[in-house]
């Protein structure tokens, strides 16, 4: 008898379009990660695309000022430790502000 695999829901991550310019290996993929917090989402993204965590977080692990993470429609409230909870069926949006003249 073969193995049975139980598929459990995992948070889905969506990125702002311009982030694919820096992490092209993520483009065109449905990104699902095992995570219970926003910090774990960032860690999982780092495994998929090395350099991702430092691109959106500073050397202390705090979210950079020009980056926002939404869990569903809620902006993460803990920008320092990213301890906001993520549910298995959550959509997580990672956005970087664009500016210029």
d(CA 99, CA 97): 7
Which of 61, 69, 65 is closest to 15 using CA atoms? Answer: 69
pLDDT at residue 99, as a whole number: 62
What integer is the mean pLDDT of 13-21? 94
Is the pLDDT at 31 greater than 80, yes or no? yes
- Provide the CATH number for the domain formed by 12-96 in this structure: 3.10.20.30
Q: Which residues lie across from 94 on neighbouring strands?
A: 15, 69
Q: Which residue has the tokens 């820096």?
A: 22
pLDDT at residue 8, as a whole number: 76
What residues does each domain of the chain span? Answer: 12-96
Which CA distances in Å does 2 have to 5, 8, 28, 54?
A: 10, 19, 32, 42
Q: What is the 3-state secondary structure (H, E, C) of 21-64?
A: HCCHHHCCCCEECCCCEHHHHHHHHHHHCCCHHHHHECCCCCEC
The pLDDT tens digits for 44-99 are: 999 999 999 999 999 999 999 999 999 999 999 999 999 999 999 999 999 987 66
């Amino acid at each position: 008898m073969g193995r049975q695999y139980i598929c459990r829901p995992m948070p889905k991550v969506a990125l702002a379009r311009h982030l694919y310019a820096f992490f092209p290996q993520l483009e065109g993929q449905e990104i699902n990660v095992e995570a219970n917090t926003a910090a774990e989402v960032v860690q999982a993204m780092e495994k998929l695309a090395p350099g991702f965590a430092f691109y959106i977080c500073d050397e202390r692990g705090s979210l950079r000022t020009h980056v926002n993470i939404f869990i569903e429609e809620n902006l993460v409230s803990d920008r320092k430790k990213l301890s906001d909870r993520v549910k298995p069926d959550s959509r997580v949006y990672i956005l970087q502000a664009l500016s210029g003249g």
